[in-house]
Chain A
Amino acid sequence: MWILDYQLFLLPELLRKRVSDMIIGLYVRSPFPSSELFRSLPESQQILSGMLGANVIGFQTYGYSRHFTSSCMRILGVDTTPKGVDNEGVLVDVVVHPIGIDAEAVRRIASREGVRQRAETLRELSAGKRIILGLDAMDQSRGILHKLRALEKAFQMYPELVGKVPIVAGPATSSPPSRLS
Chain B
Amino acid sequence: MDSLEGARPRVLVVSDSLPYAIRLQRGGEPVPERRRRRSYGSYDSLPIDFGEEVGGLVATDIGVGSSFDFKERHHHVALWVGRQLEEFETIYVGKPAGVDPKVYEGDLMVAAHLRESYFTQKSCVPVLLPANTLHGHWEGYCQTTLRPLLHYTQAEACLDGRKQLAMWNDYVKVNEAFADSILAIWQPGDIGRTSSPLLSS
Q: Mark A1-26, 1 if CB is under 8 A from B, else 0.
A: 11111111111001100110011010
- Asked whether B48 is an interface residue with its Cβ less than 8 Å from the other chain, the reply is yes
Task: List chain B residues, Cβ under 8 A from A33.
Answer: 149-152
- Asked whether A148 is an interface residue with its Cβ less than 8 Å from the other chain, the reply is no
Within 155-196 of B, Cβ neighbours of A (below 8 Å) are at 164, 168, 171-172, 174-176, 178-179, 182-183, 186, 188, 190-191
Task: List chain A residues, Cβ under 8 A from B81.
Answer: 2, 4, 27
Query: Is B164 within 8 A of A42, CB to CB?
Result: yes
A8 and B16 in contact (CB under 8 A), knowing A37-B154, A139-B40, A174-B74? yes
Query: Is A2 within 8 A of B12, CB to CB?
Result: yes
Chain A nearest Cβ from B134, distance in angstroms? 11
Query: Is B40 within 8 A of A6, CB to CB?
Result: no
Chain A nearest Cβ from B75, distance in angstroms? 6
A38 and B74 in contact (CB under 8 A), knowing A5-B15, A56-B201? no
- Asked whether B108 is an interface residue with its Cβ less than 8 Å from the other chain, the reply is no
Q: Once the chains are docked, how many angstroms separate the CA of A22 from the CA of B188?
A: 8
Give the number of residues in B that approach A within 8 Å (Cβ atoms): 54
Task: List chain A residues, Cβ under 8 A from B16.
Answer: 4-5, 7-8
Q: Tally A-B pairs: CB < 8 A.
A: 137
A2 and B11 in contact (CB under 8 A), knowing A10-B171, A175-B74? yes
Chain B nearest Cβ from A23, distance in angstroms? 5
Chain A nearest Cβ from B82, distance in angstroms? 9
Task: List chain A residues, Cβ under 8 A from B154.
Answer: 37, 40
- Asked whether B6 is an interface residue with its Cβ less than 8 Å from the other chain, the reply is no
Task: List chain B residues, Cβ under 8 A from A179.
Answer: 50-51
**In the complex, residue of chain B having the shortest beta-carbon distance to the beta carbon of A173:** B50
Query: Is B153 within 8 A of A141, CB to CB?
Result: yes
Q: Once the chains are docked, how many angstroms separate the CA of A176 from the CA of B75?
A: 9
Task: List chain B residues, Cβ under 8 A from A4.
Answer: 13-16, 77-78, 81
**In the complex, residue of chain B having the shortest beta-carbon distance to the beta carbon of A30:** B150
Q: Once the chains are docked, how many angstroms separate the CA of A10 from the CA of B81?
A: 21
Chain A nearest Cβ from B153, distance in angstroms? 6
B48 CB contact (under 8 Å) in A31, A32, A40, A171: A171
Within 66-88 of A, Cβ neighbours of B (below 8 Å) are at none
Query: Is B14 within 8 A of A23, CB to CB?
Result: no
Query: Is A15 within 8 A of B183, CB to CB?
Result: yes
Q: Once the chains are docked, how many angstroms separate the CA of A95 from the CA of B201?
A: 7
Task: List chain A residues, Cβ under 8 A from B168.
Answer: 42-43
Chain B residues with CB under 8 Å of chain A are: 11-16, 38, 40, 42-43, 46, 48, 50-53, 73-78, 80-81, 137-138, 142, 145-147, 149-154, 164, 168, 171-172, 174-176, 178-179, 182-183, 186, 188, 190-191, 198-199, 201
Q: List 10 A-B contacts (CB under 8 A).
A: A1-B191, A2-B81, A6-B150, A8-B178, A11-B178, A23-B199, A37-B149, A50-B175, A141-B153, A173-B50
Given contacts A23-B191, A93-B201, 14 further A-B contacts (CB under 8 A): A2-B81, A6-B146, A7-B138, A7-B174, A8-B178, A31-B151, A32-B150, A33-B149, A33-B151, A33-B152, A47-B146, A171-B48, A174-B53, A177-B74
Chain A residues with CB under 8 Å of chain B are: 1-11, 14-15, 18-19, 22-23, 25, 27, 29-33, 37-38, 40-43, 47, 50, 56, 93, 95, 97, 99, 102, 105, 138-141, 171, 173-177, 179
